[in-house]
Amino acid sequence: MTYDLTFAKEVYKNSEEGHWIKMCMQCGVCAGSCPLGFLGAWKYSPRQIFQMVRAGLRDEVLTSSDMWMCTSCYNCIVRCPRNLPITHIIHGLARYASVQGKADPKQPTHQFAKDIFWENIVATGRVGEAALTMKLYFKDGIGEGIKQGLEMKDSALGMLKAKRLKPLPFRGKIKGYPGFKAMLNKAFELENKKEGKA
């Protein structure tokens, strides 16, 4: 295999903690640590992803569903003999794939984390669990939403009964919301410069 370092350099520069990939010695400890790896959810393990970055396989890496299978369990981080911040490298690559428009917008974790969870925070300053759940159910349309809602109705009823879910009204904005929003706008302006978007 010929090594084309163009993509690796791009990742080292633009992707969160990406420069650490240089340090990976391919031992595979991380690969043996991913909870969903054992269930076959990852096609390529973190170890393989890192080698693919160094091999210049830009499309294969950025379109991969694998980075989105990270549960943020931090097993790999505490075990890596080279002390790579693997969890954050994987998160960084997932984010970078999203920013570059390479990640499938319908990839379930991508969609949930970015369009539902994050947008829920941005909308009010806090996560409103009821609104979050509704959006999650109805992301694929009303029919699918009702089906999903019915499937989970026993758990939802259990939570309602236990007073651990409040369907209505959805929570309002935090008091300092205008300042909160201004902060995020500025933060994104700075972030976009770094990610090479703006």
Residues lying near ligand SF4 in the complex (CB under 6 A) are found at: 24-30, 33-35, 46-47, 50, 70-76, 80-82, 84, 86-87, 90, 127
Closer by beta carbon to ligand SF4, 73 or else 122 = 73
Question: Is residue 112 close enough to count as binding other proteins by CB under 8 A?
Answer: yes
Question: Is residue 100 close enough to count as binding other proteins by CB under 8 A?
Answer: no
Here the tokens at position 166 are 């409040």
Contact residue for other proteins among 5, 105, 147, 158 (CB under 8 A): 158
Of 118, 115, 123, nearest to 173 by C-alpha is: 123
Closer by beta carbon to other proteins, 51 or else 152 = 152
- Which residue type is seen at 61? V
- 61 makes contact, choosing from other proteins, ligand SF4, none, with CB < 5 to 8 Å by partner type, with none
Of 17, 153, 37, 38, nearest to 90 by C-alpha is: 17
Shortest CB 96 distance to ligand SF4, Å: 15
Closer by beta carbon to ligand SF4, 62 or else 86 = 86
Shortest CB 6 distance to ligand SF4, Å: 21
- 49 makes contact, choosing from other proteins, ligand SF4, none, with CB < 5 to 8 Å by partner type, with none
Helical ranges in 31-176 per DSSP H: 46-54, 58-62, 75-79, 86-99, 108-110, 119-124, 129-137, 142-151, 153-161
CA 132 to chain centre: 16
- 190 makes contact, choosing from ligand SF4, other proteins, none, with CB < 5 to 8 Å by partner type, with other proteins
Rg (Cα) of the chain, in Å, rounded? 19
Rounded Cα gap, residues 84 and 20, in angstroms: 6
